[in-house]
Amino acid sequence: MYEINRGNEMEIANMIVNGKTTLGIEFGSTRIKAVLVDDHNTPIASGSHDWENRHIGNIWSYTLDDILGGLQDAYASLARDVKEKYNVTLQTVGAIGISAMMHGYMVFDRDNNLLVPFRTWRNNTAAEAGEKLTKLFGYHIPARWSVAHLYQAILDGEPHVKDIVYQTTLEGYVHWLLTGEKVIGIGEASGMFPVDPVTKQYNARMLKQFNELVEGKVPFKLEDILPKILLAGEDAGTLTEAGARLLDPSGNLKAGIPLCPPEGDAGTGMVATNAVKKRTGNVSAGTSVFAMIVLERELSKPYPEIDLVTTPVGDLVGMVHCNNCTSDLNGWVNMFGEFAELLGVEIPKSKLYDLLYRNSERGDKDCGGLLSYNYVSNEQITQVEHGRPLFVRKADSNFSLANFMRCHLYSAFGALKVGCDIMLREEGVGLDRITGHGGLFKTEHVGQSYLAAAINAPVTVMKTAGEGGAWGMAILANYMVQREGKETLEDYLENRVFKGQEGVTLSPDPADVAGFEAFAKRYVEGLPIVREAVKSME
């Protein structure tokens, strides 16, 4: 990170004025973040906008006003940060990249009208379609994937289907608004419909099978309504005048800025952790949690717990995606914050997290027999259909604050461990290094050591762990404008972004591993409890 001082403030200001920066914007589940980086990929300014999805009519969604207003507010926040730090007005950048949470369902008619409210990745309403497509393709299709949502709408006879002329994801939609281009990065495309890692296009066999399956039920071929696939480094269009005014209503931002292919948060997470090389991986832990390992070969068979997606350049990745991670944990921390307020004590949120997380390290290695499930929404990895956050203990469990927090931190990785054990133990997937990033790793050592215990492998956290996907997206924008000849993304990251970068690697503590294994056994055996809660608490 830059040490901002009088000496380099002017240098950075000149970079900004001359467009020697790139901008990454990522729509996360609870925050839209904008990060501006210099020509060495160092973050120099940032902005953000907090938002929350809405549960309307049994659907998790964000409105178009939420999306556009949030985009503008995040950019305005960034522009203010630039003005305050460097006393210049942000008018141009070298390139822009848009990212967002993967998957979901956004479909449009010929007049570019959104046909139904945006259905996010959190919805499990397309489980039937996912199961049928998995059987048809012989390839795991999760319920949150775009094609599953589309097929479910067809199965349900939804009237809007006949009017669909374009289907995309959230970042594809925002990119389209800014550039007029109907394109998508290959990593995100692989969460819309299976991608062939050889041709780097949608899988031709499966496209044919899908079209035959729905023949006579829809007026389109699937390939005609999907966005065009682009690889990292390829040109994805330029910011139009309308796009510039949409992003920056103040009128300061100039049109003509190139944009790189829009990517999902999985792809930007790989970039932000230098995990696009085979036998490397990363874990992103925030509202949701996912582990991604770049594979040397295909898995021996489909697994419902493992999605096959790709890196931003199209290499095959085994992905374990869990819908739930920190939301329930955040709720407990907030409650402890309320208790502190009752005592008349004001504790900054970051300090509150640090205090509670670090206290968890004093707990028993197996959490003293406590058990929790962080399922604010459904969790397909463990076959729990609806969100029912739950904490349970036996009368003789060691019920202490340290064990309580340790239990909830373990639970954040509980479903993830189920899927990772399949890849690492059953399939023998090779893994040389795994990097953690996201909010759960901001408190040093704690989340990192618990993840190392969960997967029984060393975990590295870089100093940029908190920057997350918006930073990764800005790097992809820089890669597009800076790459030399046939320079690969892998080489660009290794030599230009992460060379000399400081990080901390923790090897798993054997006692922690044994403790997590005991917790994981209790976690799996207790799943009928939370499934019963779904039935009993309608």
> Does 299 share its domain with 317?
yes
pLDDT of residue 6: 42
With left for phi above 0 and alpha for psi between -120 and 50, is residue 100 left, alpha or beta? beta
pLDDT confidence tier of residue 433, bands split at 50, 70 and 90: confident
Q: What is the pLDDT of residues 480-490, one digit of tens each?
A: 999 999 999 99
Are 468 and 33 within 8 A, CB to CB? yes
pLDDT of residue 466: 53
> Does 403 share its domain with 356?
yes
SS3 label, residue 281: strand
Would you say residue 233 lies in a domain? no
Would you say residue 7 lies in a domain? no
pLDDT confidence tier of residue 337, bands split at 50, 70 and 90: very high
> Does 526 share its domain with 397?
yes
> Does 351 share its domain with 487?
no
pLDDT confidence tier of residue 57, bands split at 50, 70 and 90: confident
Are 500 and 442 within 8 A, CB to CB? no
> Does 353 share its domain with 481?
no
Residues 6+ apart with CB under 8 A from 310: 186, 187, 190, 195, 197, 316, 317
pLDDT confidence tier of residue 3, bands split at 50, 70 and 90: very low
Pairing between β-strand 166-168 and β-strand 106-108 as defined by DSSP bridges? antiparallel
What CATH code is carried by the domain that includes residue 317?
A: 3.30.420.40
Would you say residue 186 lies in a domain? no
Nearest one of 36, 53, 52 to 1, comparing CA atoms:
36
Instruction: Report the domain count for the chain.
Output: 2
> Does 308 share its domain with 425?
yes
pLDDT at 1 over 50: no
Would you say residue 24 lies in a domain? no
Domain that holds residue 522: 327-415+511-536
Residue with tokens 């510039």: 244
Q: Could you give the percent of the chain with pLDDT greater than 70?
A: 98
pLDDT of residue 123: 83
pLDDT of residue 121: 83
Mean pLDDT of the 509-530 span: 97
The mean pLDDT of the chain is 94
pLDDT of residue 31: 93
Residue with tokens 């309307």: 56
Q: How many CB atoms lie within 10 A of CB 343?
A: 8
Would you say residue 278 lies in a domain? yes
> Does 369 share its domain with 449?
no
Would you say residue 489 lies in a domain? yes
Mean pLDDT of the 390-397 span: 97
> Does 502 share its domain with 515?
no
> Does 524 share its domain with 384?
yes
Residue 373: in which H helix or E strand, if any? strand 371-373
Mean pLDDT of the 443-453 span: 96
pLDDT at 283 over 80: yes
Would you say residue 356 lies in a domain? yes
SS3 label, residue 178: helix
pLDDT of residue 467: 59
Please give the model's pTM, rounded to 2 decimal places: 0.85
Would you say residue 373 lies in a domain? yes
> Does 482 share its domain with 347?
no
> Does 333 share its domain with 450?
no
> Does 335 share its domain with 410?
yes
Are 359 and 401 within 8 A, CB to CB? yes
pLDDT confidence tier of residue 7, bands split at 50, 70 and 90: low
